Structure 1
């Protein structure tokens, strides 16, 4: 499991399998892993499933930060960046379980990805080839799934619409979760990483 979690930070193409009730932080205590949380903190008595923990939140944040390194680059035109960001949001959603404290984040990522997909589809350039850059443009990294382009004439407006999706997703995540004293920092950290994704959608 440790190998899967480490790979999630380095390669967008790898997915982590989540058995029911398992937590991201179950792989912990190793040389490169966070310390294991107390046993009583691993399960939410109100919502069974993975509970919030520093190690898991850090993984999510770093994956979202990886979107900036891959999608916002001189080698990727603005018209490809919306779909590139969509793929990263899908990957974050795939990483998260279907229950527990991280479920609101998963739902927000899936909703954002669907809305970004709708923007790309509505403005799709059917004549432009899909591209498959390497993650973070590292020579040894795996290639991204095919990334679609919107038309050149719609790129700026489509990017502005996508930016609204990102901003709304940030707010949804910040407002997620019942007990502010326990949950606010985790959701705030993830929301801040989402906000930083706005750099991807800025035109040169």
Structure 2
């Protein structure tokens, strides 16, 4: 009995040490890379799929908004997607590409902000409107930024192509949505909207 009592503190210490090892090691060793940081840096089909889905689903949600609000919505989509890659050097080119578009949209929205329209809230996000007459110009600027981002992705090292091609395809879907703003029917609607907007201000 006395032998057990003497050995007990050592046994308890070993038990507590085993409990703390996973915590010190950063949790589950097989957890991979997730939002807000990386438990395991490197190329991952899970990360690539998550980024591509975040982009595609975000673009789809933004397309339900009026054009004046879509660009700030797109900006936040690019920001969320870029945040998934921060801290993972294997995706450095992809991060650069997404931030390029995000920064272009951020500058365009701030420069063309429409004080006559109120921000629009959707869930936890708030979108700032741009002036209706600025939509064609901002559309072209965003499209050009996306094309530059695609070049960055498609010129990446060969071992990253399979991952980056999927992200580039998601960006292209945004470009297709943007081009719909410049179709003849859309331009006519923009003109009517701008005219009505100007009359309200007058």
Instruction: Return the TM-score normalized by structure 2.
Output: 0.68
Structure 2: which 5+ residue stretches go unaligned?
1-26, 187-202
* 1:101 paired to 2:90: yes
1:66 aligns to what? 57
Q: Partners of 1:80 and 1:120 in 2: how far apart?
A: 9
Give the length in aligned residue pairs.
151
Q: Partners of 2:58 and 2:177 in 1: how far apart?
A: 8
2:163 aligns to what? 186
What SS is found at the alignment partner of 2:138? helix
Q: Partners of 1:200 and 1:144 in 2: how far apart?
A: 24
Deviation of the 1:111 alpha carbon: 2.2
Q: Is the Cα contact below 8 Å between 2:59 and 2:77 reproduced in 1? A: no
Cα deviation, 1:146-200, whole Å, max 9, x if unaligned, reads: 1111101111221121111112112212212x3x1x2111111111111111233
Structure (1 or 2) with the larger CA radius of gyration: 2
- Compare relative contact order (CA 8 Å, sep 6+) and give the higher one, 1 or 2: 1
What root-mean-square deviation, in Å, do the aligned CA atoms of Structure 1 and Structure 2 show?
Answer: 2.1
Q: Partners of 2:143 and 2:111 in 1: how far apart?
A: 16
Structure 1: which 5+ residue stretches go unaligned?
6-14, 24-49, 134-142
Q: Is the Cα contact below 8 Å between 1:130 and 1:149 reproduced in 2? A: yes
Q: Partners of 2:77 and 2:94 in 1: how far apart?
A: 13
* 1:162 paired to 2:181: no
Q: Is the Cα contact below 8 Å between 2:100 and 2:145 reproduced in 1? A: no
Give the structure with the larger helix fraction: 2
Give the structure with the larger strand fraction: 2
